[in-house]
Structures are given as C-alpha cells and as structure tokens.
Amino acid sequence: MNLVLLEPAELAAPLPRQDPRARHILDVLRRREGDTFHAGVVDGPIGTATLVALGSDALTLSFVPVREPPPLPAVTLVIGLPRPPTARDILRDATTCGVGAIHFVATERTDPNYATSNIWRDGEWRRHLLVGAAQAFDTRLPVVTWTHSLAHALTHAGPGERLALDNYEAEAHLGRWKPTAGEGPIVLAIGPERGWGPQDRTRLRDEGATLLHLGKRVLRVEMAVVAALAILQARGA
C-alpha cells in the first residue's frame, strides 16, 4: 500500500483500528501521534495525512491536499467475462497499470454464471480497484461494468482505435502495431479464458478491430492484460 486511500466521507470520521488501512499505518508504516504519511482521496487529490490522535478503538487523521493526480490513460479494456479469481486479478492489476475503463462482457464462450458472482453482487469489485490504485500511488479509479455484451461494449466504448488480442487469426504482434490515426484513445478487447468464438471475431472485425497477438505462447487472461498494457505504455499510449 504505497498510498493510503480515504473515501471523501471518511475525512471527517475516525478510522477504526480494525480497518486494514489503520493496521497498515500502525504496523507497516509504524506511524505514531504527530507522524505524517502519504494519503489521497478516492478520485480526488493526493496529499499528506497526519495521525492526530491514537485511540483505543480508532485513529483520528487530518488530511492536507497537495496535488491532483494526472488523468487516467485513454485506454478502455473490453474483456470476456472470466472466472471471479481472474476478474479480481484483472481489476487490481489493470488499475495499477492505468486504464480509463474496464468492461467485462458476455461473449460466445463466456459462462453466464460468472456475471452473478458475489464479486459483482456485493461490491467486492471496487475493493480490488482501491488496492490497485494504492499500489500505483494514484487516486483515480477506472469505470467498471459487467452487464453488457461484446457488441454493446464495442459500440458504446467511445472514440479510439479498436484492437483485439487473438491467438489464432491475428496477423501481427501488438508491439509492431502502427496507429492509423495518430496517437489517441485505444479500445483493447481481450477474450475470455476459452478465447474468442467465430461470431466474436466477426463482431470485432465489423467494429473495425485489428486482430493482434502477443507472441507464440498462450498467456492467461490476467497476464495478457498486463503484458498488453505494458506494451501500450511503452508506446506512450
């Protein structure tokens, strides 16, 4: 946890000692009364927090904003809805790498039961974003959805060049891809754990997506997400 993230409503309230952030402040950062540490407000400024008082049940903090974080990268992920453990990894790691939105979508080979997992029903998904943002020393969280089809997500993803990772019909490596309209927003589609189906590929091509690959080795979805984002970041996307 490189940055202690606080919700706006928590700025005026004590932080319970059983909260993981409180334990991090006391046990990892080893802060005591009067000490400061890096903190930020979710989707707000980054600044400095002070441990004003250490009670038996809660920590009293004060926060001074210092700067606004930069905008999130103009990259939108469209990902075939994976198993919940994989989704957790993607939510955390894609947020750490930096993306503007993550849309988990129904595809030909998606198990529809994944969309009713507790991770989505109980709001757990947002906690993984917070972990990823704290790791990245950032406060901004990507937009996340999990209720749309591939077709809907591609149609409504906004402007940007459409790219899709595919192990079987791609003609070029992502690292050698050249944008057709100059550097700008990117919509990157990555299939579910069983890959794209024929109808998915037709839809992707109909939406103008270029099919690309990451090499000869078949990666896990969560690893492909990180590898692809690393390549795009190296290009300055």
Does residue 82 share a domain with residue 62?
no
Does residue 101 share a domain with residue 19?
no
Does residue 98 share a domain with residue 62?
no
Last residue of a domain, one of 27, 44, 67: 67
> Which residue has better confidence, 115 or 237?
115
Residues 6+ positions from 57 with CB-CB distance below 8 Å: 14, 16, 17
pLDDT mean over 127-135: 97
User: Among 77-91, 141-155, 173-187, 200-214, whose mean pLDDT is lowest?
Assistant: 173-187
Instruction: State the pTM of this model.
Output: 0.94
pLDDT mean over 211-222: 94
Query: Given this model, what pLDDT does residue 179 score?
Result: 83
- How buried is 129 (Cβ within 10 angstroms: 0-12 exposed, 13-18 middle, 19+ buried)? buried
Last residue of a domain, one of 49, 67, 85: 67
Does residue 157 share a domain with residue 82?
yes
Query: Given this model, what pLDDT does residue 182 score?
Result: 64
Number of domains forming the structure of the chain: 2
Query: Given this model, what pLDDT does residue 178 score?
Result: 86
Domain CATH number, residue 153: 3.40.1280.10
| Residue 163 lies in domain | 75-234
User: Mean pLDDT across the chain, nearest whole number?
Assistant: 94
